[in-house]
Amino acid sequence: MIARCMARMRGSACAACANRRVCPAGRWQQVQGWAADDFRRSEQTSGLATLLASVVRAIGGASAPPAARCFSREVEEAIVPLLATGDANIDKVAERLGFNRQTLYRRLRAEGTTFDDLLRTKRRQLAIRYLGVERVPVKVAAWRLGFSDPAAFSRAFKRWTGTAPSRFRSP
């Protein structure tokens, strides 16, 4: 869809396009107040066309505003695949993100959080999803979340939600 809309922008056809309200190119024009002729002119300048195309793609494909895409979110996403292996520690996550431990710690502190807080929050969110939505057995949920033993998971889940995992799963 983006390629088709980009071609339409080059041909000054956006004004008559039926998709202009959902088209990333149309949204870019609405936000910036640009016309298709302005885009064509910027296309002739060195490198600006590539930059503009990437911005248009980002606006059309982004599910969250850029402000919501913070560093702690990246850390949470890096934690998830490491949970099942039991390697969800600050050193492994920092390595996965290409930082050293201190840089990771410092950047999280700048956002007002800690690695342990993120790990606990992510485990709690996933535990509720696994047991409530996906309805997986308690032992499987404990394993997926990196707990060494289902009893430890049950204690943690009860601390998080106030109810036992088995009661949480039952209809």
Give the pLDDT of residue 86. 86
Residue of 126, 127, 117, 121 lying closest to 157 (CA atoms): 127
Per residue in 77-113, pLDDT tens? 999 999 988 889 999 999 999 999 999 999 999 999 9
What pLDDT shows up at residue 143? 93
SS3 of 56, please?
helix
139: enclosing H helix or E strand: helix 138-144
What confidence score (pLDDT) does residue 50 get? Answer: 61
- Whether the per-residue pLDDT at 70 is higher than 90: the answer is no
Instruction: List Cβ neighbours of 1 (8 Å cut-off, separation of 6 or more).
Output: 19, 23, 60
* Mean pLDDT (whole number) for 155-159: 94
Phi, psi of 64 (to 5 degrees): -135, 150
- Residue 115 pLDDT > 90: yes
Architecture of domain 71-169: Orthogonal Bundle (1.10)
| Matching residue, tokens 């995992």 | 165
The CA distance from 24 to 54, in Å, is 11
User: What pLDDT is recorded for position 5?
Assistant: 54
Instruction: Report how far residue 36's alpha carbon sits from residue 23's, in angstroms, rounded to the nearest whole number.
Output: 13
Q: What would the pLDDT profile of 118-144 be if each residue is shown by its tens digit?
A: 999 999 999 999 999 999 999 999 999
Task: For residue range 2-48, list pLDDT tens digits in order.
Answer: 555 555 555 555 555 655 555 544 443 444 444 444 444 434 444 55
* Residue in 51, 49, 45, 40 with CA at minimum distance from that of residue 12: 40
Query: Given this model, what pLDDT does residue 27 score?
Result: 45
pLDDT (mean) for 147-160: 93
> Three-state DSSP class for 153?
helix
Mean pLDDT of the chain: 75
What is the DSSP annotation of 57-69?
Answer: HHHHH-SS-GGG-
Are the C-beta atoms of residues 169 and 127 closer than 8 Å to each other? no
Listed in order, the ranges of the chain carrying CATH 1.10.10.60 are: 71-169
Contact call for residues 78 and 93 (beta carbons, < 8 A): yes
> Residue 171: what pLDDT?
66
Global pTM reads: 0.58
User: What pLDDT score was predicted for residue 44?
Assistant: 45
HSE toward the beta carbon, residue 53, CA cutoff 13 A: 15
Which pLDDT value is given to residue 87? Answer: 87
**What angle is formed at CA 14 by the lines to CA 46 and CA 40, rounded to 5 degrees?**
20
